[in-house]
Structure 1
């Protein structure tokens, strides 16, 4: 099995054994496969991209083609122990409504995203005047699926406004975890575990 992306490794380590999970925007199913194999989780996926759905199916993973913006509404309340949205929040039309839906269908929700307030992004904009292309954001602004440039502080404000509890949070710089101190400036990626 291939190594998981750092944010997915954090999530995989925290999901309780034997739980029911929906991985929204599951990509090729790396997290689902790890959860099923290592944690004996009933993991299912939803993915918009047809080729990624096919890749999941080729791995024998249960996945449906669906859009997080509209299709989460079809799931019943509390259908899962965890709803996971990794590196997808910034691509949704209404991130606030998607987070609400995650917490409706899951007792807990993991949300991970790239932090657009990271110091390298700020420096690139300040000195170069252009949207950055980095290892973690590897494509030009006009090719990216990102439509909302969320920061750690923006996300904290959103969940506070909605009365959502942050059960745990992790911040990553490159592939390494860092302390929450000045995470809005220092973290390239953030992972939040949310509950009501």
Structure 2
């Protein structure tokens, strides 16, 4: 798991062995391969980028090209134990609807996202007056796939409003876990495990 991105490593450690998983926005399939090879998971993927789909299929993974905003509606209720959406929520047109589909499709859902309220982002806006470019947000505002700038507190409010249970939450500062205290200010990245 050392080669996995830190948020993916958290997810991989917390998926029950032998589960059925749908990884939405699975990229090149790194998490799916980890789950298949080390957790005996039946992992399936949905990915928008055709090059990533090819890379995942070349790993022997079951991945189809699709769009989280439109194609999740085609999946039957409770067809997976977990639905995973890592660093993709902020790129969807209707994150609230995507979240509802995740919880409908899987009994539980992992969601990870960059926290746009991190102190470095705030400082960049305050002192520079410009949208930040950071390690986790590495491209300029005009070329970013991020269309919804979500914060830890925004996400917490959304799940509370929708009656969604937070079963677990992990917060990363750099590549290291940090406490939930002041996570909206201190965490660069958040991972939530949800159920309904």
Task: Settle same-fold status: TM greater than 0.5.
Answer: yes
Partner of 1:110: 110
TM-score normalised by structure 2 residue count = 0.99
* In 1, Cα distance between equivalents of 2:50 and 2:126: 38
Partner of 2:167: 167
User: What's the CA shift string for 1:141-189, capped at 9, x where partnerless?
Assistant: 1110000000000000000000000000000000000000000000000
Q: Which ranges of 4 or more aligned residues in structure 1 deviate by more than 2 Å?
A: none
Q: CA deviation at 1:133?
A: 0.6
* In 1, Cα distance between equivalents of 2:122 and 2:70: 33
User: What's the CA shift string for 1:99-126, capped at 9, x where partnerless?
Assistant: 0000000000000000000000000000
Partner of 2:193: 193
Q: CA deviation at 1:136?
A: 1.0
Contact 2:90 2:149 (C-alpha < 8 Å) held by counterparts: yes
Partner of 1:45: 45
Partner of 1:147: 147
* In 1, Cα distance between equivalents of 2:93 and 2:144: 14
TM-score normalised by structure 1 residue count = 0.99
The 3-state SS of whatever aligns with 2:142 is coil
* In 2, Cα distance between equivalents of 1:102 and 1:179: 26
The 3-state SS of whatever aligns with 2:143 is coil
* In 1, Cα distance between equivalents of 2:157 and 2:131: 24
Partner of 1:90: 90
Structure 2, unpaired ranges of 5+: none
